[in-house]
């Protein structure tokens, strides 16, 4: 088995996403949800603009570690342009991946940089915060 | 002090390798490493002497009772209290909760009187008072520790003739600032002689020798696991005069005098506050830990902490990518909180661990009001104890530079 090093968790790709502010903004008049990691105080708000069952725009605001910020940015990039249904499928696979279970690689295009997150038990919550919040944002349609 | 190789023998965790690096344990304010002799004492009790205490008359029960009570005596001597003034709890949190509820239900705080706490407190010396205030309609006053630095002169302005209870930590668990408790006692008693003074000693007791009588405080709470003892055991010291007036907070076995259908009378101190089968294992371990601390010498521990804190501050101040919180003077003991500019504390802590084997704490340290005072969401925190050496700090500095190179 290949040893999982810290280099993989803090790879250039992940650092780039964490510093990339493209998706870090508010979308006015959108579906949104707030998420919190109680143990570390990290907070995130996810904004979704949904039109006819399709996520036309996704963004986030908040503060957190590199893992949580990179995860949020990648999530927004992946779900933009997808239908809500597709996004939910991706979400399911991502959660499975974070738990170290079998998942469908084809569905989570790009996110495999986090495929070893389950080997860092203290950081799984950082990675999944934006995804759990996405689920709430999807359910928060009024 | 013991020599450093002795520490390695006494604390097997110091021989652990973390990612191929020697463990550098700098999370002592959260909990300290376990000495062999403490765990051996616990094991000896558990395997050979364990029985329920204060109940039966057989040999094991008698041995267990004696060991439990001699642990209590050891703790009493350690802080110069009477034996019946030592209540065993599971730690500081339980001690303060017990105290807050008991003071409230015993009507020891009259309408119009106030409880004074500060914004630098650990949640366990903050939330219980806040909630007691709500439940019993008691006014809680919060002294703002502006910018995270406690200023005694400003604090004294908050103490008035209405102040019935003062609860304050002996050392900030975020900045390591040592609070001048003796000065506070002196001033507070001048304003109101019978003010009840409570010290959260969770961080203080492991580092300073305390004489509750000469310090003239009324209550003191601390945890075994921050002073080389096991988890799940701690102490509430209370002046006998107060404890006698107070109603118990937990009811059940071992704390009663007479029980009938109509009512129950309660037994004598300290048992009145120790309902249920107590943590005898923990008490034995804690007594052993105290013995070890006394052998090393509290003054030596204190000097050693000072030396390490000074050395760490000097080295860390040279790293311009760090923001350091707290007084950064001789009144800072064994704790340094900081942030790496623009980098989240979790990332710093995780990388330090994996790159250099350095264990530090990251987060809000159960002190969110203090984080607000500092204007941050979270910090990194290093904290020292008896087995740490200067080269631990050198490795920390090396690790911090590496992390900065990687993430900046
Ligand atoms: C100042 C202070 N008070 C109280 C506590 C709570 O101690 P425990 O969790 O052992 O009850 C801590 C521990 O982190 C502390 O640092």
Q: DSSP per residue over B181-225, as a string?
A: HHHHHHHHHHH-TT-EEEEE-TTTTTTS---HHHHT-SEEEEEGG
The answer to whether the CB atoms of B350 and A6 lie below 8 A apart is yes
Mean pLDDT of chain B: 95
DSSP state of B35: P
Say if A55 is an interface residue toward chain B (CB within 8 Å): no
The answer on pLDDT for A1 being more than 50 is: no
Omega cis (within 30) before B135: no
Residues in contact with ligand 1 by the CB-under-6-Å rule are B 91-93, 122, 124-125, 169, 173, 200, 202-203, 223, 366
Q: Are residues B253 and B338 in the same domain?
A: no
Q: Are residues B358 and B390 in the same domain?
A: yes
3-state class of B172 per DSSP? coil
Q: Strand pairing partners for B17?
A: B22
Residue B18 is inside which H or E element, if any? strand B17-18
Lowest mean pLDDT among A18-27, B9-18, B197-206, B245-254: B245-254
Q: How many domains does chain B have?
A: 2
Q: Are residues B61 and B18 in the same domain?
A: no
Q: pLDDT class for A3, splitting at 50, 70, 90? A: low
The answer to whether the CB atoms of B350 and A63 lie below 8 A apart is no
The answer to whether the CB atoms of A6 and B364 lie below 8 A apart is no
Cα gap B210→B222, rounded to integer Å: 12
Q: Strand pairing partners for B143?
A: B118
Ligand 1 centroid to B228 CA: how many Å? Answer: 14
Atom of ligand 1 nearest to the CA of B30: 14
Residue A2: the pLDDT is 47
Q: What secondary structure, in 3-state letters, does chain A show?
A: CCCCCHHHHCCHHHHHHHHCCCCECCCCCCEEEEEECCCCCCEEEEEEEEECCEEEEEEEEEECCHHHHHHHHHHHHHHCCCEHHHHHHHHHHHHHHHCCCCCCHHHHCCHHHHCCHHHCHHHHHHHHHHHHHHHHHHHCCC
CB B22 within 8 A of CB B3: no
Neighbours of B256 (CB within 10 A): 16
Helix axes A66-79, B345-356, angle to 10 degrees: 110
Q: Are residues B318 and B285 in the same domain?
A: no
* A66-114 pLDDT per residue, tens: 999 999 999 999 999 999 999 999 999 999 999 999 999 888 888 888 9
* B169-189 pLDDT per residue, tens: 999 999 999 999 999 999 999
Q: Are residues B249 and B334 in the same domain?
A: no
Domain of B16? 4-30+297-407
Cα gap A74→A70, rounded to integer Å: 6
Q: Strand pairing partners for B140?
A: B115
Nearest to B275 by CA among B248, B243, B259, B252: B252
Interface confidence, given as ipTM, is 0.84
Tokens 């991706």 map to which residue? Answer: A90
Tally C-beta pairs within 8 A across A and B. 43
CB A76 within 8 A of CB A131: no
Q: Are residues B73 and B210 in the same domain?
A: yes
Q: Which of B264, B295, B326 is the last residue of a domain?
A: B295
Spell out the residues 6+ positions from residue B288 whose beta carbon is closer than 8 angstroms to its own. B35, B37, B38, B41, B42, B229
Residue B9 is inside which H or E element, if any? helix B4-10
The answer on pLDDT for B359 being more than 80 is: yes
- Structure-derived torsion over alpha carbons of residues B176, B181, B182, B184, reported in degrees to the nearest 10: 130
Residue A142: the pLDDT is 61
Q: Are residues B222 and B115 in the same domain?
A: yes
Q: Are residues B236 and B312 in the same domain?
A: no
* B207-262 pLDDT per residue, tens: 999 999 999 999 999 999 999 999 999 999 999 999 999 999 888 777 777 777 77
CATH code of B164's domain: 3.40.640.10
Nearest to B51 by CA among B283, B286, B281, B287: B281
How close A66 gets to chain B, by Cα (Å)?
7
Q: Which of B295, B325, B348 is the last residue of a domain?
A: B295
Q: Are residues B239 and B376 in the same domain?
A: no
Cα gap B93→B202, rounded to integer Å: 9
3-state class of B132 per DSSP? helix
Q: Are residues B66 and B139 in the same domain?
A: yes
CATH code of B330's domain: 3.90.1150.10
Q: Which of B278, B295, B312 is the last residue of a domain?
A: B295
CB B273 within 8 A of CB B235: no
pTM of the model: 0.92
Residue A37: the pLDDT is 85
Q: Are residues B110 and B192 in the same domain?
A: yes
Q: Are residues B178 and B265 in the same domain?
A: yes
Q: Residue count of chain B, please give it.
A: 408
């Amino acid at each position: 088995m290949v040893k999982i090093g810290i280099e993989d968790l803090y790879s250039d790709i992940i650092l780039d996403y964490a510093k990339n502010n493209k998706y870090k903004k508010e979308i006015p008049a959108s579906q949104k949800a707030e998420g919190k990691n109680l143990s570390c105080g990290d907070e995130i708000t996810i904004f979704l603009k949904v039109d006819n069952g399709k996520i036309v725009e996704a963004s986030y605001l908040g503060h957190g570690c590199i893992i949580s910020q990179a995860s949020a940015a990648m999530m927004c990039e992946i779900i933009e342009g997808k239908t809500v249904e597709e996004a939910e499928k991706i979400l399911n696979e991502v959660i499975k991946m974070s738990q170290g279970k079998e998942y469908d690689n084809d569905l989570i295009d790009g996110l495999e940089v986090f495929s070893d997150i389950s080997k860092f038990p203290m950081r799984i919550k950082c990675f999944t915060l934006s995804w759990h919040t996405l689920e709430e944002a999807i359910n928060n349609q009024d | 002090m013991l020599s450093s190789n002795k520490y390695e023998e006494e604390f097997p965790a110091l021989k652990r390798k973390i990612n191929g690096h020697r463990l550098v344990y700098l999370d002592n304010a959260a909990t300290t490493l376990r000495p062999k002799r403490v765990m051996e004492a616990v094991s000896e009790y558990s395997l050979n002497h364990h029985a329920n205490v204060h109940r039966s008359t057989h040999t094991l029960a008698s041995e267990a009772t004696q060991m439990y009570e001699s642990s209590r005596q050891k703790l009493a001597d350690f802080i110069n209290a009477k034996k019946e003034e030592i209540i065993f709890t599971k730690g500081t949190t339980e001690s303060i909760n017990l105290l807050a509820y008991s003071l409230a239900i015993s009507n020891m705080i009259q309408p119009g009187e106030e409880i004074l706490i500060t914004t630098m407190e650990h949640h366990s010396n903050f939330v219980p008072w806040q909630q007691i205030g709500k439940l019993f309609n008691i006014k809680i006053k919060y002294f703002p520790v502006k910018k995270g630095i406690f200023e005694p002169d400003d604090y004294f302005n908050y103490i008035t003739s209405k102040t019935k209870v003062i609860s304050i930590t002996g050392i900030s668990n975020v900045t390591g600032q040592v609070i001048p408790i003796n000065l506070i006692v002196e001033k507070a008693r001048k304003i109101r002689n019978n003010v009840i003074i409570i010290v959260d000693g969770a961080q203080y007791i492991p580092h300073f020798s305390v004489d509750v009588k000469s310090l003239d405080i009324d209550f003191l709470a601390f945890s075994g696991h921050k002073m080389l003892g096991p988890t799940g055991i701690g102490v509430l010291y209370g002046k006998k005069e107060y404890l006698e007036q107070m109603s118990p907070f937990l009811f059940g076995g071992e704390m009663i005098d007479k029980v009938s259908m109509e009512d129950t009378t309660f037994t004598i101190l300290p048992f009145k506050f120790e309902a249920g089968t107590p943590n005898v294992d923990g008490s034995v371990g804690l007594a052993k830990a105290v013995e070890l601390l006394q052998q090393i010498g509290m003054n030596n521990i204190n000097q050693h902490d000072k030396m390490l804190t000074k050395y760490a501050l000097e080295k860390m101040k040279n790293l311009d990518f760090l923001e350091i919180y707290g007084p950064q003077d001789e009144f800072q003991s064994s704790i340094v909180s900081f942030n790496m500019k623009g980098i989240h504390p979790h990332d710093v802590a995780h990388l330090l661990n994996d790159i250099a084997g350095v264990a530090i704490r990251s987060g809000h340290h159960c002190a969110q009001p203090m984080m607000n005072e500092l204007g941050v969401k979270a910090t990194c925190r290093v904290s020292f104890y008896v087995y740490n050496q200067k080269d631990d700090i050198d490795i920390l500095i090396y690790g911090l530079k590496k992390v900065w190179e990687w993430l900046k």
